[in-house]
Amino acid sequence: MSKPLISVRGLTKKFDDFTAVDGINFDVAKGESFGLLGPNGAGKSTTMRILSATSTRTSGTVEILDKDPEKFGPLVRAHLGVVPQQDNLDGELTVSENLFIYGRYFGLSKKFINGKIEELLEFAQLEEKRDVKVEALSGGMKRRLTIARGLVSEPDILLLDEPTTGLDPQARHILWDRLFRLKEQGVTLVLTTHFMDEAEQLCDRLVVMDKGAIMAEGSPQGLIKEYSSKEVLEVRFGSDRNKQVAPQLAQMCERMETLPDRLLMYTEDGEKLLERIAAANLHPTTSLVRRSSLEDVFLRLTGRTLIE
C-alpha cells in the first residue's frame, strides 16, 4: 500500500478544560472516501479544522501529504479544498465573483480561473445563476457553490464538514450525486456527517466518533456485520406497554435496544422473529423488518442514537 495522504496519531485538542478530540488515530489513502460519523459534539468539526491546516492541536501528530499542517499551513492548504459546515460565501458578490476571488487566493491566473469557473458552474448546476448575488440563492445552491469553490484549485483532498446538514431530501440527493462524481474522478474525500445514510452512500471507510474518541473503524458494511445483526425488527406496543413486554421479548432475540417509542430487536431473520412474537400472544401495534444500518452500529457502541 502506498503512503497515506493523511496520517493522524494520538490527535488531541483541548479548549480550556474541555477535551474536544481525545487521542484519535486514522489514515486516509489516496482516492479513498473517508468519513467521520458521529452525533453533534463528537469532535468531528474540530478534527476537520485541524485537517484543514488552520486550527492548532494540543498534542499528537498529523501529517497531510507528508507535511505537518501546523508548520506548513499555506503549503498544505494549497492542496486542500475545504467545505465548512456553515457556508461562508461572500453574500454581496455574485456566484462567479465568489469563485473568481477564491481562485485568486490560491494565486491562480485570471485565465485559468475563468476557464475553471465554466467547468464548476456546470458541475454545481449553477450556470444560470452565474451573475446572481449569493444572498439570493437557496440553501442547496449555496452548498453546491461552496463545494464548487472548494474545487477551484483542483485540490488533492476535499474536506467536507456536514455537507448536507440543513438541506431538504431532494437537495441532498443532488449533492450526493455530485460528490459521487468527484469520488469516481478519484478525488480523495474526507467528510463528517451525523446521517448514517450519507455515510453509507458516500464512504468507502469510516470511523464512528463519540465524545472526542473513535469507537470503531471499518467499511459501512463491515461495521454493520461486526456490530449488528443482519436484520432489525422494530416493534411498537404503545409507550407504556413497551417497557412491560421488553423483558419477555429480550429473551427471544440476540440483542435488544429499548428506545422511548419503540423496541429494536436484532436478529438474522426478522419475519421469523415476528411470527414467534405472535405465537407468544404478544401483538405489537406496528412492526417493521429492515436491514441493519450504521445507526444500529452507533446505538450498539454508545447506547445512544445519532440524532437526539
Partner 1 sequence: MNTGIDVSRIERFGALYIAAARLKSMSKWKVIIAAVDIGNPLFYLIAVGIGIGVLVEKGSGTSGTSGIKYIAFIAPALLASSAIAAVMDETVFPTIEGFKWRKLFFAQNATPITGRQIALGVYLSALCRAISSVSIYYTLLIAFNVVEFGLSALLIPVAVLGGGAFGAIILYAAAKIEKDDQFFNILGRLVIMPMFLFSGTFFPLSSMPIYLQPIGWVSPLWHATELGREAAFDYGLSALMVGVHITYLSTLVILGITLAMSQFERRLAK
Short-list 115, 123, 177, 185, CA closest to 148: 123
Looking at beta carbons only, is 82 or 263 nearer to partner 1? 82
Among positions 19, 67, 112, 255, the unique one binding partner 1 when judged by CB under 8 A? 112
Q: Select the span of 1-9, 103-111, 245-253, 259-267 touching partner 1 (CB under 8 A).
A: 103-111
Helix (H) or strand (E) holding 82: strand 80-83
Task: Collapse the DSSP code of 239 into the 3-class scheme (helix H, G, I; strand E, B; otherwise coil) and give the result.
Answer: helix
Task: Give the nearest distance from C-beta 107 to partner 1 in angstroms.
Answer: 4
Residues binding partner 1: what is the number (CB under 8 A)?
36
Among positions 10, 91, 115, 238, the unique one binding partner 1 when judged by CB under 8 A? 91
Question: What does each C-alpha distance from 162 to 36, 39, 165, 193, 279 come to in angstroms?
Answer: 10, 11, 6, 5, 45
DSSP code of residue 262:
-
Query: CB under 8 Å to 45, separation ≥6 — which residues?
Result: 85, 161, 162, 192
- The interface mask with partner 1, positions 32-71, x = CB under 8 A, is --------------------x-xxx---------------
Task: Give the nearest distance from C-beta 187 to partner 1 in angstroms.
Answer: 8
Among positions 10, 105, 168, 238, the unique one binding partner 1 when judged by CB under 8 A? 105
Query: According to the binding rule CB under 8 A, does residue 176 interact with partner 1?
Result: no
Cα–Cα distance, 144 to 147 (Å, whole number): 5
Query: According to the binding rule CB under 8 A, does residue 289 interact with partner 1?
Result: no
Question: In what side-by-side order are the strands of the sheet with 188-193?
Answer: 80-83, 157-161, 188-193, 33-37, 205-210, 213-218
- Contacts with partner 1 by CB under 8 A lie at 15, 52, 54-56, 73-75, 77-80, 82, 84, 86, 88-93, 97, 101-102, 104-108, 112, 149, 153-156, 187
